[in-house]
Amino acid sequence: MAYQLLTTHQFDVTIFTPQSADEVRTGRIRSTQVHFSSTIARERLYRMPTWPNAQELTSVHVSVGGETFFAGSLDKPAYSIDQRLYFSECMADLQRQGVHFVYAKVSSEQLSGMVESFDLVVDCTGRSGPVAPFPLDSSMPKIATPLRKCSVGYFLGVENAKPVGILAHILPGEGELFEIPALTEVGPVTILFVEAVPGGQLDVFHRAHHAQDFCSIMLDITESFFPEIRNRLTREQFSLCDDHAYLRVAVRSEVHIPYCEVNGRFVVGCGDSVVLNDPITGQGDNTASYLTEQLFCALLDDASREWDETTFQSYWEKSKPYVNHVVSWSHAMLRPLPEHILGMIMEGRTNQAVADRIANWFRTPSSAYNDFFYKDEIHENGGHEQ
Ligand SMILES: Cc1cc2nc3c(=O)[nH]c(=O)nc-3n(C[C@H](O)[C@H](O)[C@H](O)COP(=O)(O)OP(=O)(O)OC[C@H]3O[C@@H](n4cnc5c(N)ncnc54)[C@H](O)[C@@H]3O)c2cc1C
C-alpha cells in the first residue's frame, strides 16, 4: 500500500510497526510466502524491490499417498522470498523514499487519536489484528476452529525436484506437506511446510522445544511418510538455515467488512487483518496484494472529494467476489476433496492439460473456484484465466 501511495507523489505515508527493519531481518520466519504472477506484476508496477537471485518456480507437482502423480506447469512463474529479507529490504527502501516509521504497536485506544492526525488510517496488522472494530462479514464462509496445524521450517540439504516448483504431497486424512524452494539472506533454502490434521499422525511438532527438535521431527516425518523427499535429502547437511527458521501456527479463517467508523472517522483494513485464511492454498500475501490495489484504486477514484463510506463500500464491493473465490476454495481444500476434484487429480496423471490446469489454480484462484464449484463447466472451459 505504501508503495502504491508513493507512486502518485500526492501522499505523505507514516508506518506504525513494532519492529525495526533489523529486528524483522534477524527475527523468526513468518510464512512460506509464494508470490504468484499477479502479485509479482504489482511489485514491478509499483517499483518495489526486485529479486534477481530468486529461484523461479515454474510448476506445481502433486503426489498422493507417497505416489508421484504429475507436475503441472504454471503459465507464469512464481517465487518465494523469506519475508524477513523481503520486508526488511522494503522498509529500508521506503525509508530512503521519505516514508516515516514509528516503531510502536498501536492499541485500539491509540487508534481513536490517530484518526484525528491522519487523512486515512489503514489497519494492516495481519493475523494478530485487526485493531479497528471491523464487523465480521456474515455473508462470507468462516471456520472458527483451525482445521490444520501449520509447521514450517527453512532447510538446507534438500535437493530440488525437477522442474523446480512447489511440491504438494497429499496424505489423505492426515494433511499435506508442501515443499517450496525459496530465497533467504543466506541463499537458497527448501521450505518444508506441514499442514497437519489436528490429532493425526503429522500433528507432532508440539514436541519441538527448540530448532534441533524441530529438525529431527521433520526428518522423522519424511522417513515415515514422504520417502520421495527423504531420497533427495542429505542427512549430514539437513538443518534449519538459522535458529529462527521455524514456525508453528494454527490459523482461524474469518472475513471482516474492511471499514468502520472510529471516533467519527473511517478506518479501512487490508490483508490478513480483514481476510484471514489457513495458508493451504498459499493465497494470503497474494490476496493482501490484490486488496491493496483495490483500495488504492477506490482512493484515487474519489481523490477529488473527501473519502467517505461510499469510497470504502466501493473497495469492498469490487474485492468481494475475488475474496469469496479464495476463501471458498481454501475451505474446500481443508476438507475431504469432492469426487470430481479427485477425478481431475487422477486425470492429471495422464493428461498434461489437466495437470497444468490444476497447477494454475494457485496462480488464479478464481479458476480453482470454478473447477470446485461449477464442475459441469470443467470440460467446456479449457482455458486458464489471465
Ligand atoms: C505457515 C504460513 C504459510 C503461508 N504461506 C503463504 C504463501 O505461500 N503465499 C501467500 O500468499 N501467503 C502465505 N501465507 C499468508 C501470508 O503470510 C499472509 O497472508 C501475509 O503475510 C499477510 O500480510 P499482512 O501484511 O496482512 O500481514 P503480516 O505480514 O502479518 O504483517 C502485519 C504487520 O503488522 C504488524 N502489527 C501487528 N499488530 C500491530 C499493531 N497493533 N500495531 C502496529 N503494527 C502491528 C506486524 O508486526 C507485522 O509487521 C502463509 C501464512 C502462514 C502462517
CB of 283 shorter than 6 A to ligand 1: yes
Q: What is the reported pLDDT for 377?
A: 56
Distance (angstroms) between ligand 1 centre and the Cα of 65 equals 31
Q: What's domain 2-54+76-144+254-331's superfamily in CATH?
A: FAD/NAD(P)-binding domain (3.50.50.60)
How confident is residue 7, by pLDDT bands cut at 50, 70 and 90?
A: confident
Q: CA 112, CA 13: separation in Å to the nearest integer?
A: 18
- Beta bridge partners, 268, equal 122, 259
How would you classify the pairing of strands 165-171 and 57-64? parallel
Distance (angstroms) between ligand 1 centre and the Cα of 100 equals 21
String of b and e for 38-56 (b: at least 16 CB within 10 Å)? Answer: bbbebbeebebeebeebbe
Distance (angstroms) between ligand 1 centre and the Cα of 138 equals 23
Q: What is the reported pLDDT for 120?
A: 96
Instruction: Name the residue of 28, 29, 31, 327 to mutate for ligand 1: max ligand atoms within 8 A of Cβ.
Output: 31
For 203-246, what is each residue's pLDDT tens digit? 999 999 999 999 999 999 999 999 999 999 999 999 999 999 99
For 18-74, what is each residue's pLDDT tens digit? 999 999 999 999 999 999 999 999 999 999 999 999 999 999 999 999 999 999 999
Residue nearest to atom 49 of ligand 1 (CA): 17
Residue nearest to atom 36 of ligand 1 (CA): 125
For 306-337, what is each residue's pLDDT tens digit? 999 999 999 999 999 999 999 999 999 999 99
Q: Which of 33, 5, 51 is nearest to 126 (CA)?
A: 33
Domain 149-249, classified CATH 3.40.640.10, yes or no: no
Amino acid at 289: S
For 63-77, what is each residue's pLDDT tens digit? 999 999 999 999 999
Residue 265 has pLDDT above 80, yes or no: yes
For 102-154, what is each residue's pLDDT tens digit? 999 999 999 999 999 999 999 999 999 999 999 999 999 999 899 999 999 99
Cβ contact 273:266 at 8 Å:
no
For 149-199, what is each residue's pLDDT tens digit? 999 999 999 999 999 999 999 999 999 999 999 999 999 999 999 999 999
Q: Stretch 245-269: mean pLDDT, rounded?
A: 97
CB of 277 shorter than 6 A to ligand 1: no
Q: What is the reported pLDDT for 10?
A: 84
Q: CA 37, CA 384: separation in Å to the nearest integer?
A: 13
Instruction: Name the residue of 80, 124, 125 to mutate for ligand 1: max ligand atoms within 8 A of Cβ.
Output: 125
How confident is residue 385, by pLDDT bands cut at 50, 70 and 90?
A: very low
Q: Which atom of ligand 1 is nearest to the CA of 249?
A: 53
Work out the angle between the directed axes of helices 365-373 and 309-334 (0-180°, nearest 10).
Answer: 60
Residues of the chain with CATH 3.30.9.40: 149-249
Distance (angstroms) between ligand 1 centre and the Cα of 272 equals 6
Amino acid at 28: R
Residues of the chain with CATH 3.50.50.60: 2-54+76-144+254-331
Residue nearest to atom 53 of ligand 1 (CA): 31
What percent of the chain is predicted at pLDDT more than 70?
97
How confident is residue 361, by pLDDT bands cut at 50, 70 and 90?
A: very high
Q: CA 318, CA 324: separation in Å to the nearest integer?
A: 11
Mean pLDDT of the chain: 95
